[in-house]
Structure 1
């Protein structure tokens, strides 16, 4: 990974907003590990009838 490019990406407000949106979605789906796979159906831009397959829980 190119750390300079990665940090430039994180400094971009548009990119950071997309990251925060993904974090919020993960939190709402109670995703607390990596990798986590979510398999389901999307109707009217909403995820319904889904199942989660969790990996290793995050450690803080």
Structure 2
């Protein structure tokens, strides 16, 4: 019995995130959480500024 692709992907993502989390300091973790909690006037989180969007890469 194998696991589904979705389950395998979740397990891999969990392992990656756990590894990253383990190498971050409490201050770094707090800063990362703030990116998700703080919102601009339009309701967008601050992660929009660090994540490239396909539409913004189309003109490159």
TM over 0.5: no
Choose between structure 1 and 2: higher helix proportion. 2
Name which structure has the greater RCO, CA cutoff 8 Å, separation 6+.
1
Whose strand proportion is higher, 1 or 2? Answer: 1
